[in-house]
Amino acid sequence: MSTPPKDQSDAKAQDLPADPAGSESPQAEEEEEEGECGFCLFMKGGGCRDAFIGWEKCVQEAETNNDDLLEKCAHVTAALKQCMDAHSDYYEPILRAEKLAEEQAIVEFEKENLNSQQDQKSDHVVEEVATIELVKEKENLLPNESQAPSPSSRDPK
C-alpha cells in the first residue's frame, strides 16, 4: 500500500466537490447558523429539520402574542416528537435526555406528594394532641359531680 503524496492528502475545502443539487451554499448555511444554539443546529441537522423549524416558529409566535405555548403548539410539538421517534438513531441523545427529565420529574412529584401526605398526618396529630389537652384542661377547671371524691379529700372518722 502506498500513501498518497502529501499535497493530495491536505486537500482544502475549495478543492472538495460541490454540494449535491438542492442543498444550500456554504455561505447561506453560515448565515443561517450564525447566532443559533448548538441544540438548534443539532435538531436541524437530522431528518426532522422542517418539523423543528415549524415548532420554532410556533414557539416564537406564541411568545410574541403572549399565547399559551402548550395549547398553541401542541400539534407541532406532537409532530416533532413523532418525527424524532421515527429518526431515533439520530435524535437518540435528545430522546434519552427527555426520558430522563420525565423520570426525574415523576420522582420529584412523588416526593412532594409524600411530603404533603406526611405534613397532613403531622397536622392531624398536632390537632388531636391539642384537642386532648383542651379536654383535660377543661376537666380540671370544672368539677365533675359524677366523680366520687378522692379518698384523701374525705373527712377522717
Cell numbers given for 17: 466537490
pLDDT digits (tens, 9 = 90+) for 36-64: 889 999 999 999 999 999 999 999 999 99
Phi then psi dihedrals of residue 2, to 5 deg: -110, 150
- Taking 60 as the threshold, does the pLDDT of residue 135 lie above it? yes
Measure CA of the first residue to CA of the last residue in the chain; give whole Å: 129
**8 A C-beta contact, residue 24 and residue 32:** yes
Using a 10 angstrom Cβ sphere, with 0-12 exposed, 13-18 middle and 19 or more buried, the burial of residue 93 is: exposed
- Give the model's pLDDT for residue 33: 55
The residue extents of the domains of the chain are 37-86, 99-141
Q: Is the pTM of this model over 0.85?
A: no
Cβ neighbours of 71 (radius 10 Å): 8
